[in-house]
Amino acid sequence: MAALEADGTVVTAFEGPGPWSIEAVVPEAPDRADLAARLALAAHLAGVEPLPFTVAAIERRDWLALNLASFTPVGIGRFVVHGAHHAPPRHRWGLRIDAATAFGTGEHPTTRACLEMLEALACRRPLGRVLDLGTGSGLLAIAAARLGAARVVAVDIDPEAVCVAARHARLNRAHVMVACSNGPRSAAARRGGPYDLILANILAAPLAAMAGDLARALVPGGHAVLSGLLTRQERQVLVPCRRAGLRLVRRRVIGEWATLVVAAPHPTA
């Protein structure tokens, strides 16, 4: 692979039961003699026979258009997550999320489960103040705003995701404060707290590490929806949550992915 990296910005290895193949995508046709010499040297250093190769032009395609065409509306509860090229049914709430560079288009099981849990919680009582940690595309934050949350703060450690989420909030006319921030202890997150609900569709390790911070950021009796973890990682997340005083009140499993709803204790009488 190193022999091809000088030519291509994308180098991919395909491993199989038969011969392996390595492909490189390059902006211009490489010099065949130079490429052959580099591959011959790589083969010699690896102790294998000289490697055959082919050079072929790739048909030009509008990858953005192809990506948009593959992103069909996703119905979740009363919501339909759709791109700009689709209109939601009139009897459903549309959430316009264009496929972009941030996670969260409703297709992944964790996003679906979080949206389901969010809607279920909204049916029980007003959402109040909501924090969306690792907001990605902004989907969950926008849905919380549509469900009547009094205040929604959405934060992400990735500046690109923050830009995407802010754009989606504007497109959906959702009142969401979006900021680049890392975790519930950050200044941007603390300004809107304490929270009645925290949404965190991230990964098991950071969820476990911030369990204490999540508990402190919740109002008494508040809830947190934790996702982005595999079923085998539930204990890894639940043990520190329980130590922080958070109890499991609901669990949703889709395939190998788990979503946990935990609650902060109510104040003692």
φ, ψ (nearest 5 deg) of residue 114: -60, -40
Asked whether the beta carbons of 154 and 141 are under 8 A apart, the reply is yes
Q: Is the pTM of this model over 0.75?
A: no
Residues 6+ apart with CB under 8 A from 150: 126, 127, 128, 129
Exposure class string for 21-55: b at 16+ Cβ within 10 A, else e:
eeebebeeebeeeebeebbeebeeeeeeeeeeeee
Q: Which fold has domain 103-263?
A: Rossmann fold (3.40.50)
CA distance 253 to 258: 5
Q: The tokens 């082919």 sit on which residue? A: 54
Residue-by-residue pLDDT tens, the chain, 269 positions: 454 555 555 555 555 556 677 777 777 777 788 878 887 887 777 788 877 888 887 777 655 555 555 567 778 888 888 877 667 667 778 888 876 655 556 678 999 999 999 999 999 999 999 999 999 999 999 999 999 999 999 999 999 999 999 999 999 999 999 999 888 888 888 888 899 999 999 999 999 999 999 999 999 999 999 999 999 999 999 999 999 999 999 999 999 999 999 999 987 64
CA distance 133 to 181: 9
Ranges for all domains in the chain classified under CATH 3.40.50.150: 103-263
